[in-house]
Structure 1
Amino acid sequence: MKHHALHLQKLLQSSAWFSRNGIFRSGLAWLMSICFLLGGPQLLPAADDEMIAEVQPKLVKIFGAGGLRNLYSYNTGFLISSEGHIATIWNHVLDQNTVTVILHDGRRYEGKVLGAEPGLDLAIVKIEETQLEHFEIGDPSSGSTFPLAAPGTRIVAFSNMFKVATGDEPVSVIQGVIAARTKLPTRRGAYESSFPGEVYVIDAITNNPGAGGGIVTTVDGRLLGMIGKEVKNADLNTWVNYAIPISHLQQAMTEIMTGNFRSSKNTDDEKKTAGRVPLFHSTDFGIVMLPNVVPRTPAYVDRILPGSAAEVAGLKPNDLILFVGDELVQSCGEFLDQIGRLESGGKVKLIVRRENVLITSELPIPRKSRPPAKPLR
């Protein structure tokens, strides 16, 4: 490649020759194409068809809640056991009792959410089937781990972005490179992501609607990470493409599959709220939520009461509430719970999504006396 680059440099320095002969543009384009074909593969190793064909059967398409107010209703997932355990992203698509899971060959199953860890953006869905091709996750306690990949590693991303597959069609395949390993600045809702750890930032457009729960592998098919949510920096107005390393998810995956898992978020919340009576309701701030018709109805604002704190703060119907303070909101029920736990006085910060823009609002918290706690049984 270095040899080809030196020749290209000399020829570019002789551009006057191209101009005099009237072939500068066409000749330059032809020359650059030849150099890329000769030298490119030496720098950019690509995944081969055999590897892609081996990985595709381990991917699934997930269809569930959504379709409401332009909220997409599909995810991607990947099999992590021969008995039908599927890892996927924890988001609104799982906001119903069951989801539809479609395998690579078009077979359809009813899937149930076995468990989730919202703090890791991870959920495990189970279908009733055996002898399925899958990724070996292993048991971290026995020393089976997934080493972190370094920046510069070539990757291949698999996902059902934009619902390209609804039956036996293969999911999309994109090639790219790991640009960096870093933490997303989720503080204050800069990004709509609750994952606190280090992620792979990818130099490829991987995080599209439906891509969440897809996978990133090396060019030889080794599992590296799970594609995250669509996230946008509110200050910079930029999107980020990232994947969560499997090493951060491995333990939770194993514990959920074996029934030994308890969400750290639920445990913390139970400690904070044991016996407490909710002090506030969303209507105390002038916010009327969308009816909570399914277990995890998205936290959409239905209407704003005239003259309320919410109206003064600029909140509007159809806003999707993402954060209360620094806490990610996954559903209408979660929003009402978090509002109920607020303490009297001060202010509460809400992050909402309006169309494709993240908006921050502060609302004053009314002063109230908390009722006596209910006795614990």
Structure 2
Amino acid sequence: MLAAPPELARFNDLLADLAERLKPAIVHVRVRREAPTSEEGQEPQERRASGSGFIIDSEGVIVTNAHVVEDVNTAQVRLFDGRRFTGKVIGRDSRVDLALLRLDGVKGLPTLALADSNRVRVGEFVLALGHPFGLEHTVSFGIVSRKGAPLTVAAPGFDFIQTDAAINPGNSGGPLVNMAGQVIGVNSMAARNGSIGFAIPSNVVKMLTPQLIAKGQVEWGWLGVSITEVGDDDVPRLKLRDSRGVLIRSVMPGEPADQGGVRPNDVIVALDGSPLDGPRDLQRVVASTPVGKKIRVTVLRDGREQQLDVTIGRYKATEERK
């Protein structure tokens, strides 16, 4: 009988030991919602949904997806040891599909550490953990397939980590971890065939968690402009030297950019002295800048550089602007 090479056997043990070590910090999240009635006078029907989460604070702060706890204020949380708690939704943001739960009256819970997702490398091994299909704790293995995967469901400028580790229904909100046992992302969604999954980078979680805990929501920065890349034909038309920067297509009246003097056909090349490579850079920097902060915007207008001071506003959903 042929035996597995020692290196493969050791790697197998490493994965199994790692998965076992992480299990205590993974939770199962269940919610109950009332379904809309289809006939007048009919009693509302209850719908149940489930997802996953993981503990980041020993006193009961849990990370999950916003869509898992959509339209509810509480959720039933089952810990690895079988204990059940009612978790309160203390913050959520649908733009990046992130939410936080808190369990009251608990201490000393096992936690997972958040890694620096900027250091993640394409090709490195990862584990996706959670409770898919409402099952007990499961683990899937894969690699980081891509960094910086832009998705229309994400906040503009923020990218997802793409993986081939299986992320099935119910895995949403569980952690994507590296071989050091640190969380590099929050499992959020998968392609319909299940072959591609996406996770919210851990650095985005780090950035948003303080606001979610303190305010219950995220105040995204906002300029109020429509933007695009600088095209080759724009260079001579706008008297530019090259195609670097971000072209302003239009400016919303009364919004921060308008008040700060930004005009259509301006090309923004830097914010607070930091150069911009393209539209996604601008979107990411503006979105993550604190509301009310004044920033120096460097623009090219008619081929000449100008400095404008713009105070960042608060992003409002479309329905809030009506």
Q: Same fold (TM over 0.5)?
A: yes
Aligned partner of 1:155 in structure 2 is 126
Q: Any conservation in 2 of the 1:82–1:132 contact (CA below 8 Å)?
A: yes
Tell me if 1:241 matches 2:197: yes
Q: Any conservation in 1 of the 2:212–2:218 contact (CA below 8 Å)?
A: no
Counterpart of 1:251, as a letter, is M
Name the larger-Rg structure.
Answer: 1
Aligned partner of 1:116 in structure 2 is 92
Deviation, 1:124, is 0.5
Aligned partner of 2:176 in structure 1 is 216
Aligned partner of 2:243 in structure 1 is none
Counterpart of 2:61, as a letter, is H
Aligned partner of 1:179 in structure 2 is 145
Counterpart of 1:104, as a letter, is F
Tell me if 1:130 matches 2:115: no
Deviation, 1:68, is 5.0
Deviation, 1:211, is 0.8
Identity of aligned pairs, percent?
A: 22
Q: Give the Cα–Cα distance (whole angstroms) in 2 for the partners of residues 220 and 117 of structure 1.
A: 28
Query: TM-score scaled by structure 2?
Result: 0.58
Equivalent positions of 1:18-33 (< 5 A) are none
Q: Any conservation in 1 of the 2:129–2:140 contact (CA below 8 Å)?
A: yes
Tell me if 1:200 matches 2:161: yes
Aligned partner of 1:357 in structure 2 is none
Tell me if 1:49 matches 2:38: no
Aligned partner of 1:78 in structure 2 is 54
Q: Any conservation in 1 of the 2:149–2:162 contact (CA below 8 Å)?
A: no
Residues 97/56 of structure 1: CA separation in 2 closer, same or farther (3 Å cut): same
Aligned partner of 1:362 in structure 2 is none
Q: Any conservation in 2 of the 1:67–1:73 contact (CA below 8 Å)?
A: no
Deviation, 1:41, is 2.2
Deviations 1:6-51 (A, max 9, x none): xxxxxxxxxxxxxxxxxxxxxxxx9xxx59x449829976643332
Deviations 1:213-248 (A, max 9, x none): 01111223122111012455xxxx886312121012
Aligned partner of 1:164 in structure 2 is 135
* Moved segments of 4+, more than 4 Å: 42-46, 66-72, 144-147, 265-269, 337-342
Query: TM-score scaled by structure 1?
Result: 0.51
Segment of structure 1 superposing worse, 194-203 or 110-119: 194-203
Classify the secondary structure of the residue corresponding to 1:229.
strand
Deviation, 1:341, is 5.4
Which of the pair is proportionally richer in strand? 2
Classify the secondary structure of the residue corresponding to 1:135.
coil
| CA root-mean-square deviation | 3.6
Classify the secondary structure of the residue corresponding to 2:119.
coil
Q: Give the Cα–Cα distance (whole angstroms) in 2 for the partners of residues 212 and 268 of structure 1.
A: 32
Aligned partner of 1:62 in structure 2 is 29
> Which of 189, 195, 200 matches 1:229?
189
Q: Give the Cα–Cα distance (whole angstroms) in 2 for the partners of residues 243 and 46 of structure 1.
A: 26
Q: Give the Cα–Cα distance (whole angstroms) in 1 for the partners of residues 180 and 194 of structure 2.
A: 31
Deviations 1:121-141 (A, max 9, x none): 11001111111111245xxxx
Equivalent positions of 1:264-303 (< 5 A) are 264=219
Q: Unmatched 5+ residue regions in structure 2?
A: 37-45, 225-251, 253-316
Deviation, 1:78, is 0.5
